[in-house]
Amino acid sequence: MSTDVDTRPRRRHLWIAAALAGTLVAVLATQWITRAGGSDSGDLRTQIAARMVTVLESTPAEQHGGHGAHAAGYSGSTTVCGVRIFGFEPPGATSLDMVDVVYGHHLCGIAEGRRHWDGAVKLVGPVVMRLSTDPPTIQVAEATQTATFRERVLELIPAQYQAVAFEESLDPSTMAELRRRYDDAAGF
């Protein structure tokens, strides 16, 4: 009579548990890094994002500092925007009224008469928004006759945010909400 016990299934479960734990740690670390630390900044970042969206959507498209040529002629259309924040100044701000400048990425679609998202005029790219001015000022990194897009990003965005400034993406939930709001505005 043999008393040997097959431990392979148990070891397999341990490996799976270790892999899942490692993945969880990686996800949590990534979230912490992209939020620029601590959970206290989460609510402030949400407030800043909401303020940025409000400013971008209430500013006529042709006045989105630098996007004027692309947005000319759409003054009667609705602009719908989403943002991703890289950082803000001063970095120790604890409330929205303390925030002077915000660095981020924006994606706005101009919703006009039943035009689908894929065919919409879009305003997109790194953005610097000064909230301490009235009205807030918007600067976008856009190529000029004397500077490339890359050079403009490097001029406008502080060094600590430049790498992420070249990543043109919104998080999936922000993108889904932007698309839903665009479809509503375009009459779908």
Strand pairing class (137-140; 121-130): antiparallel
Containing H/E element for 128? Answer: strand 121-130
Could you tell me how many residues make up the chain? 188
Within 8 A by CB and 6+ apart from 142, the residues are: 66, 67, 125, 149, 152
Share of the chain above pLDDT 70, in %: 70
Containing H/E element for 108? Answer: strand 101-111
Distance CA 17, CA 14 (A): 5
Tell me how far CA of residue 43 lies from CA of 34, 47, 96, in angstroms: 14, 6, 10
One digit per residue, pLDDT tens: the chain, 188 residues? 555 555 555 555 444 444 444 333 333 333 433 344 344 557 999 999 999 999 999 988 766 555 444 555 555 689 999 999 999 999 999 999 999 999 999 999 999 888 999 999 999 999 999 999 999 999 998 888 999 999 999 999 999 999 999 987 899 999 999 999 999 999 98
Per the DSSP assignment, residues forming a β-bridge with 109 are 80, 122
Note whether 64 and 144 are within 8 A (CB): no
User: What pLDDT is attached to residue 113?
Assistant: 82
Distance CA 110, CA 186 (A): 9
Q: Is the pTM of this model over 0.85?
A: no
Tell me how far CA of residue 67 lies from CA of 9, 94, 147, in angstroms: 60, 31, 15
Distance CA 105, CA 23 (A): 27
Span 40-86, pLDDT tens digits: 557 999 999 999 999 999 988 766 555 444 555 555 689 999 999 99
